Amino acid sequence: MSESPVAVVTGASRGIGRAGALALAEAGFDVVVSARTVREGDGVAEPNSVREEVTLAVPGSLERTAQEIEERGQRALIVPMDLSDRTSVESLVPAVLEAWGRIDVLYNNAIFRGVGTLDRIADLTMESMTALMAGNFMHQILLIQQVLPHMVDRGTGTIINMVSGSARLDPPGPPGEGGWGILYSASKAAFARVAGGINAEYRSLGLRAFNVDPGNVVTEARKAAKPDDEYSSGFGSEPAEATGKVVAWLAAETGADKFLGKWIFAPKLCSDLELLPGWTFAPPQ
């Protein structure tokens, strides 16, 4: 039986989730990786709007991330999960506890992918609004609810929630023209309130929760959707590894408690702490 602490990372097949999973492994965690894409070659990016029609292939998989974790000397456990499927969400934590018996960190990185994310106001439907709010907010809470009793029983636990600058900023243009959908930003604004609630209710019982904003990261899915789009205009472009290093630092360092209740902008903190050698955060001009 391993003595290493255990971190659960959702959306770990690629992008920021993969970077976080690898950084946690490098920090000494055994890592449970969860997402929809298990095998390399099966990943797809669905249309994010009713104005899009094409489903695109994207690289990355849980098998690949798990292999990279093991190459770093830590155990990896694959537990598939789909944020749009309530049964899948509610099954993740019990599966981990049955297999490994403990969860020290839950990193809620996964987001809903699908119609509604980049839809304009006039294009939103009750169905798309319900699906996106369920995936980005309600099902995230269901997942947290599954892990809370275990963490309370152990008297310790860290929950790290991925938030988005779109929750605090107005879009500079319409969705698809430099801006984002208001439904997506509303769902992320709602989710951004959860960490504070966890701290208010459970900090005295040994739990802590953080909000982490990755900045503008050009992920595999975004590259597949618009390979010729610069994406960085006006916002800069940050490496996924910067957020991964910050997530691992928050999970491993007791000194991170000073960031409870704060909006953590990962690229700046990563640069300030020099967690990613050779890289310095440069604010967009």
- Token output for 159: 């929950």
Supply the pTM of this predicted model.
0.93
Sheet bearing 30-34, strands edge to edge: 76-78, 30-34, 6-10, 105-108, 157-162, 207-213, 263-265
155: left (phi over 0), alpha (psi -120 to 50) or beta: left
Q: What distance in Å separates the CA atoms of residue 237 and residue 242, rounded to the nearest whole number?
A: 11
Query: Tens of pLDDT along 179-233?
Result: 999 999 999 999 999 999 999 999 999 999 999 999 999 765 655 555 555 444 4
Predicted pLDDT at 233: 45
Predicted pLDDT at 251: 98
Does any domain span residue 148?
yes
What's the CATH code of the domain at 171? Answer: 3.40.50.720
Closest CA to 111 of 91, 87, 131: 131
Determine whether 244 is exposed, middle or buried from the number of CB atoms within 10 Å of its CB (0-12, 13-18, 19+).
buried
Predicted pLDDT at 185: 97
Predicted pLDDT at 161: 98
CA distance between the termini of the chain: 51
**Structural domain boundaries, residue 262:** 6-273
Does any domain span residue 282?
no
Q: What distance in Å separates the CA atoms of residue 195 and residue 207, rounded to the nearest whole number?
A: 11
Does any domain span residue 281?
no
Residues in the chain, pLDDT under 50: 230-234
- Token output for 163: 């938030």
Number of domains in the chain: 1
Does any domain span residue 187?
yes
Predicted pLDDT at 79: 98
Does any domain span residue 52?
yes
